[in-house]
Amino acid sequence: FEYVRKVAREQKESDAASQAHLVAQHYNARPEVGVEKRQQSSIIRLRSFNNWVKSVLISRHVRQDATVLDMGCGKGGDLQKWARGNIGYLVGTDIAEVSLSQMKERYQTMRNARFKAEFIPLDSYSELLAPRLAPNIRFDLVSMQFCMHYSFESEKKARTMLQNVTANLAEGGWFIGTIPDANWIIKKVRTMPKGQHEIGNHVYSIKFEDIKDTDDGNKVGFTPFGCKYWFHLTDAVDCPEYIVPFPTFQSSLAEEYGLELKFKQNFHQFFESASHEGDHNTLLRRMKVVGGYDPEMSKEEWEAAGIYLAFAFQKKKR
């Protein structure tokens, strides 16, 4: 029995590794299209909106000369935000090595990067980051934008991710991020007719494989970890993702790692509250998200914006 268990465990681990590989392959294969091509994308307003949310979230938690960890940093979509925040040091990590080297190149050609930076290729949901860092480095801010949900493939991965987030995070330091809003997604799936486990519109689709319908019309099978769905976002994403049930994330995990929830908002509410604030409103207009620009954000894009939520935890003082 011990042997059977061992083989089953190894099989599960190698399946998990191949899923991570699939995600890395997907992001590595996405070409660096440049500004002009990005402007032509059919989800240009959604991209700008998502960027605006990240800008606001980062500006609220960053401080001058901060040491920052950008985990799952991709091609460096937030480099300018770190420059604007006047940070002192940046560590960028990602499993997709091609994306990471594109970020490094971007950083090296930035004219306004006053901060120093290092880039570490790492599967940060399976491997520990601390041994790769300078021993006494302390992060003031850890940021995980649109990437943390991949770790909810298993409890072990989610724990490794949180270990990496908190190991070198200073007391009082911030952990911020953006993830799909499980509540929003599951609520929508539950409105679908019996046998249908897919939601979406022209811009996005979310399709579950392991959800079942009970006789009384309920949809069941939304497990706390490994609840996989296929996510498609036009011109952007096409890969397996995992539901992050917020109560599991907050109460069963983050609190155990000394993190206290200070802020959580679905992107729709985020827009309602932050879009009226002076500086953030100016930025929204500059990014042409609001104000009647052509093309305007479509209804479909706005619906897809609601998939996500933003959060901020603070590391408790002992």
Report residue 154 as tokens. 């298993």
DSSP code for 301: H
Q: Is 96 in the site for ligand SAM (CB under 6 A)?
A: yes
SS3 state at 314: strand
**Residue in 55, 62, 72, 289 binding ligand SAM, rule: CB under 6 A:** 72
**Do the beta carbons of residue 186 and residue 243 sit within 8 Å?**
yes
The residue written with tokens 């706005």 in the block is 302
DSSP code for 217: S
**Residue in 45, 81, 89, 94 binding ligand SAM, rule: CB under 6 A:** 94
Instruction: Please give the Cα distance from 135 to 160 (Å, whole number).
Output: 19
Report residue 72 as tokens. 């799952």
Q: Measured from the CB atom, is 25 or 42 closer to ligand SAM? A: 25
Q: Measured from the CB atom, is 62 or 147 closer to ligand SAM? A: 147
Q: Compute the CA torsion angle 159, 160, 163, 168 (nearest 10 deg).
A: -160
**Do the beta carbons of residue 73 and residue 92 sit within 8 Å?**
yes
Q: Is 27 in the site for ligand SAM (CB under 6 A)?
A: yes
Q: Measured from the CB atom, is 74 or 173 closer to ligand SAM? A: 74
**Do the beta carbons of residue 117 and residue 91 sit within 8 Å?**
yes
Q: Which part of the chain contacts ligand SAM (CB under 6 A), choosing from 40-48, 70-78, 207-215, 254-262? A: 70-78
Reading across the β-sheet that carries 204-208, which strands appear in turn? 198-200, 204-208, 228-233, 237-242
Q: How far is the CB of 239 from ligand SAM (least distance, A)?
A: 9
Task: List the interface residues with ligand SAM, window 163-192 (CB under 6 A).
Answer: none
Q: Measured from the CB atom, is 73 or 211 closer to ligand SAM? A: 73
The residue number with the shortest CB distance to ligand SAM is 74
Q: Is 124 in the site for ligand SAM (CB under 6 A)?
A: yes
Q: Which helix (H) or strand (E) holds 16?
A: helix 2-29
Q: Is 20 in the site for ligand SAM (CB under 6 A)?
A: yes
Q: Is 125 in the site for ligand SAM (CB under 6 A)?
A: yes
Q: How far is the CB of 95 from ligand SAM (least distance, A)?
A: 4
**Do the beta carbons of residue 161 and residue 124 sit within 8 Å?**
yes
Q: Is 145 in the site for ligand SAM (CB under 6 A)?
A: yes
Q: Is 147 in the site for ligand SAM (CB under 6 A)?
A: yes
Q: Is 99 in the site for ligand SAM (CB under 6 A)?
A: yes
Q: Which part of the chain contacts ligand SAM (CB under 6 A), choosing from 60-68, 81-89, 122-130, 193-201? A: 122-130
* Total interface residues for ligand SAM by CB under 6 A: 19
Buried/exposed 46-81: b ≥16 CB within 10 Å, e otherwise: bbbbbbbbbbbbbeebbeeebbbbbbbbbbbbbbeb
Q: Is 95 in the site for ligand SAM (CB under 6 A)?
A: yes
**Residue in 43, 49, 74, 82 binding ligand SAM, rule: CB under 6 A:** 74
Q: Which part of the chain contacts ligand SAM (CB under 6 A), choosing from 38-46, 57-65, 92-100, 200-208? A: 92-100
Q: Is 123 in the site for ligand SAM (CB under 6 A)?
A: yes
Q: Measured from the CB atom, is 115 or 125 closer to ligand SAM? A: 125
The contacts of residue 27 (CB under 8 Å, 6+ apart) are 74, 94, 95, 96, 98, 99
Contacting positions for ligand SAM (CB under 6 A):
20, 23-24, 27, 72-74, 77, 94-96, 99, 123-125, 145-147, 150
